[in-house]
Structure 1
């Protein structure tokens, strides 16, 4: 049992980037823009409506309550929770500037078994979450394309997405779509192709990817500025009454829904081995990015709920819907364009993060050695980037996006909670190690952050906890079948070959 909780020694940061390893090319501004690229996306363009209006079945049963105009308090609540976690991330990222994010931090603080569980959870955040983002991207892309080209419904909706829908028009596709061996052919081709394009970009290189991300961030900020500027001029104060129609229950449950909006800041920490001067740059990038994104969410939420009655925001495209209901239809296409660009940036950042988690786990022997290979020319983890891209693209081709949001949220919150707990543990275990960034009031902040994450998790439905338990069980089987026996730390073996300049 003791060997399951062996901790990995924190090495000198320079040791994390051997000659054939990842290339350090990013600065603070790149990290902040990476954060905005990841955080401002599906949460604000898709789940905002459900968070405000709640989720009610056709039978009248309330699945979860909405916050109404008090949605801004849900964003502030999440901003505070994530700020506590971000402070803990900043301290550990400055001490352990390695690819792997919460996985690497947990390995150095809480031991191998916990690290494996966190690494397995992060797959929910990145890979599974990206399936949902790709499907949402496809919806906005089809809306943008519809005035010019009308794609057949069976090529723009996945089988499980149609099967789970209560929309009669979508359900009709089960009967009208072409059949193969008696099964309706229902494929979300736009979602599949955007993931494959992003994957190809990420294989080519990090600097090229960050340039594309920075351009997309500029576009999304301009679109949101348009929404705020035009929308603020048409706000009707009566829409803010009642402010919190479902009290704190609505605020709490809305926070659990829109948490998906915040998970991207974790992706910054996966860039540690590709960041210049990470001891200083990582904390700045994490905290600045989170602060800017929280401010944007609060402003957009306040305008959206003031523009139209919050009940009418219940739509897959709430910001475009707000303009349509308010009679500002001439701007709707711009919002759709902003959503397409915005979600492309989210896809890029999440697809960037997941292969680096696999890379770190394989380097430690918990996954097969091929997952730690670095491309000899592009210096990117090309094998895991391509495998992750194909799996996410196939998932987006057929999956239901709604089923993945809650699973993504609970997996990410559990990772945040472990990072918060890791900071005080490392303060006790290794108090003299230099800390370029130190969490202020470490015990209240770290313990409070862990409890706050658990509190937000309680706002998620029961089925999310059930599926999360199944996911963890599968992960433990894989760990004991492979990772436990091949762990570099346990065997005292040489580090996994990274596939240097000569492959």
Structure 2
């Protein structure tokens, strides 16, 4: 079938050799890129939402989400070591499931990277406004310039500024971006370590009861949301073409960054529950209120008027916990650390998105001009500028509310396709050299697929519906351009046959 054009792994490698990016990243830089992409909005902001859905059981939610990501990471490691080029899940699916599925994956990754980048930028804006309001500088950003039209303002100017700065940094160079990211990762690790060191010693076992106030379904629902806290590790695979010794370094960085973050998340969730408790707010019928709903906002306001704010009502859960246990100044410093750290997440989301678009352009599915390399900085500057404009506009005018769940829907689809691709290649191309092999793939692969489907089913209905609608929009673009311009169709990327001796 013409819709299932497959681009062989040899052809993919040949294309990359003709127009490749500079290999400048080592294993530590790559691991830190993964940590930088993972630790961000999820742990600093979504902890309160996880607590509202699962109570103390959110610790299990972190484990479930981390486990799904872990089995997916093993699949990513096998493919990225075999095919060390940019493109991540898009490239892998092109080689196994064909062009149409690859386009759908690339289009879905926009939900993961661009939507997430815009959401984090708006979150950073909120931290900036809060810090300035509570500082002695006397600076106050007008409401109309710190909020988009959805909140009664005009434009979210701080979010626009941070997007522009990050785009400029990405254009200057990958190595410079990685160095900047490493500094911000150090800030995040220091902040989370300080939180664990202060919160864990004062944990009270009584705060863990009842452990599952909303049952196991609440835990899985929390895992579906908190999955956003792990999104980003796959951005490591998008840097494959810019990695030194990718066959060795990519698997180490993928699994290593995920392991580091999972350990921190477990420590943080235990500290939050143990230090102050994390029971959800209930309605009159004994049902948990929906995070972000009007009913929950009203109940939080009533409790605040009485001088009490539970962790599930806080927009800065970690800082709130430390203030509650007497570490007010350190709590404020945690807020400052989140403010300093979130730009690294915006950077990695934009980094991943531009590399996906770069490869799609190189394959002819997007205009070829997007894959131009800057003569001085050796970066894909055109696609970086285009992506930056889109993300900046989203951050300037669109709401953040449910963007995490929308982002998750695209990510889960990509993870599922990667797991499926690994298993198919084990059968179709079993003799190909694999520098890294996912262990017990016939268990790991189905676990990854089943986990992705389960988490998707527990996303809110609106997030589930966004994905098929977004996919249909993408198919329209594909048939208008990529379907006819594909290099696989024209034979542009077919590798030349080697002459026999």
Question: TM-score normalised to the size of structure 1?
Answer: 0.89
**1:14–1:96 Cα change, 3 Å:** closer
- The corresponding residue for 2:48 is 49
* Aligned equivalent of 2:311, options 305, 310, 313: 313
SS at match of 1:310: coil
Task: Render the CA deviation track for 1:120-139: whole Å, top value 9, x for unaligned.
Answer: 00000001111111111111
Q: Which moved more, 1:113-122 or 1:241-250?
A: 241-250
- The corresponding residue for 2:2 is 3
- The corresponding residue for 1:244 is 212
* 1:255 Cα deviation after fit: 0.3
- The corresponding residue for 2:381 is 382
How much is the aligned-residue C-alpha RMSD, in angstroms?
1.5
Q: CA separation in 2, counterparts of 1:325 and 1:135?
A: 26
* Aligned equivalent of 2:148, options 139, 153, 158: 158
- The corresponding residue for 2:396 is 397
- The corresponding residue for 1:274 is 242
Task: Render the CA deviation track for 1:260-316: whole Å, top value 9, x for unaligned.
Answer: 111110100000000001111111110111111111101011101111121422222
* 1:13 Cα deviation after fit: 8.2
SS at match of 1:70: helix
Q: How does 1:91-102 map to 2 (within 5 A)?
A: 91-102=78-89
Q: Which moved more, 1:135-144 or 1:292-301?
A: 135-144
* 1:468 Cα deviation after fit: 1.2
* 1:50 Cα deviation after fit: 0.6
Is the 1:373–1:383 Cα contact (8 Å) retained in structure 2? yes
Q: CA separation in 2, counterparts of 1:156 and 1:263?
A: 27
Q: Which runs of 5+ in 2 are unaligned?
A: 280-309, 495-501
Question: TM-score normalised to the size of structure 2?
Answer: 0.89
* 1:12 Cα deviation after fit: 7.8
* 1:236 Cα deviation after fit: 2.5
Is 2:64 the counterpart of 1:77? Answer: yes
Aligned length: 460
* 1:14 Cα deviation after fit: 6.5
Is 2:265 the counterpart of 1:297? Answer: yes
- The corresponding residue for 1:88 is 75
- The corresponding residue for 2:470 is 471
Q: Which runs of 5+ in 1 are unaligned?
A: 54-65, 163-173, 175-184, 496-503
SS at match of 1:250: helix
Is the 2:14–2:493 Cα contact (8 Å) retained in structure 1? no
Is 2:129 the counterpart of 1:142? Answer: yes
* 1:16 Cα deviation after fit: 5.4
SS at match of 2:9: coil
- The corresponding residue for 1:127 is 114
Is the 1:20–1:379 Cα contact (8 Å) retained in structure 2? no
* 1:325 Cα deviation after fit: 2.8
SS at match of 1:67: helix
* 1:202 Cα deviation after fit: 0.3
Is 2:340 the counterpart of 1:338? Answer: no
Task: Render the CA deviation track for 1:107-161: whole Å, top value 9, x for unaligned.
Answer: 011111000000000000001111111111111122222223222222111122x
Q: Which moved more, 1:34-43 or 1:443-452?
A: 443-452
